[in-house]
Amino acid sequence: MMKFKEQFYIVLSAIFIASLVTCNLIANKFVTLDLGFKVFVVSAGILPYPLTFLVTDLISELYGQRKANLVVFSGFIASMFVLLFLWLGAQFNAIPSSIVGDEIYNAVFQNAWRIIAASMVAYLFAQFIDVRIFHFWKRLTNGKHLWLRNNGSTIASQLVDTTLVVCILFIGVWESDQIISAVIDGWLFKMLMAFIDTPIIYGIIYLLKGKIEIANHQE
């Protein structure tokens, strides 16, 4: 029978891949988020994205660097399959009675390949940076100060991710001040999410005491 630790890893992996794929599919839409102290202008794809870093940090803490890198790579493969089937769907003409016609399908998904390509380049860099920095701090602090490695790894990796995605997508399309504003808004929002998810990680780790042994800081 599969142990709880293995089952929980599968659940975390599923949440990670679902969040990542969703990010890519809804990234075409830009929205405003008014949090009172600031109005953020961000891609809708940024909404589920913090979950990916919450999950990789949890996996890094509970299962070690190798397992975290594995789920990052799995997410990349899943996104490539999504890209393939979006392309295949565009190769067939919609029937007249189809609820979603070719025009709507193409309007929603025709830029998906570009968005997924940009996000995958940024994703690979950012996620591996996140995992590496997380474990650097874990080794340096001998497994203590979870808040430091959670926030430090996410803040650094999200700056890389946001800058790469915005630059790949919008250099030559937007003015430089729009690009800078988009990078700053995206990064600040992700930093805010990193601070919010810190107590969530502590809570999950606390609830899992006695059920899952935390990975050694050398793993």
- 182-203 pLDDT, tens digit per residue, is 888 888 888 888 788 788 888 8
Which neighbouring-strand residues pair with 174?
Answer: 171
pLDDT band at residue 1, thresholds of 50, 70 and 90? low
Mean pLDDT of the chain: 81
Whether 159 has a pLDDT exceeding 90, the answer reads: no
Neighbours of 113 (CB within 10 A): 15
Q: Is 37 exposed, middle or buried (0-12, 13-18, 19+ CB in 10 A)?
A: exposed
Question: Angle, to 10 degrees, between the axis of helix 146-170 and the axis of helix 176-207?
Answer: 150
Whether 99 has a pLDDT exceeding 80, the answer reads: yes
* Phi-psi group of 172: left, alpha or beta (phi > 0 → left; psi -120 to 50 → alpha; rest → beta): left
Hey, what are 114's tokens? 């570009």
Q: Is 211 exposed, middle or buried (0-12, 13-18, 19+ CB in 10 A)?
A: exposed
Q: Which residues contact 203 (CB under 8 A, 6 or more apart)?
A: none
CATH number of 4-207: 1.10.1760
Whether 48 has a pLDDT exceeding 70, the answer reads: yes
User: What is the CA angle 14-18-22, rounded to 5?
Assistant: 175
Q: Give the Cα separation of 3 and 10 in Å (integer).
A: 11
Mean pLDDT of 169-173: 78
Whether 90 has a pLDDT exceeding 60, the answer reads: yes
Whether 163 has a pLDDT exceeding 90, the answer reads: no
Global confidence as pTM = 0.77
Residue 164: φ, ψ to 5°: -65, -45
Query: In the chain, what is the greatest distance between 2 CA atoms, to the nearest angstrom?
Result: 63
Which of 69, 71, 89, 54 lies closest to 202 in space, CA to CA? 54
Contact 112, 29 (CB under 8 A): no
Hey, what are 160's tokens? 């890389």
- 109-142 pLDDT, tens digit per residue, is 766 667 777 777 777 777 677 777 777 777 777 7
Which of 170, 163, 157 lies closest to 184 in space, CA to CA? 163
pLDDT at residue number 44: 83
Hey, what are 182's tokens? 């988009």
CA 84 to chain centre: 20
Contact 93, 78 (CB under 8 A): no
pLDDT at residue number 93: 92
pLDDT at residue number 17: 92
Helix, strand, coil percentages, rounded to 5, for the chain: 75, 5, 20
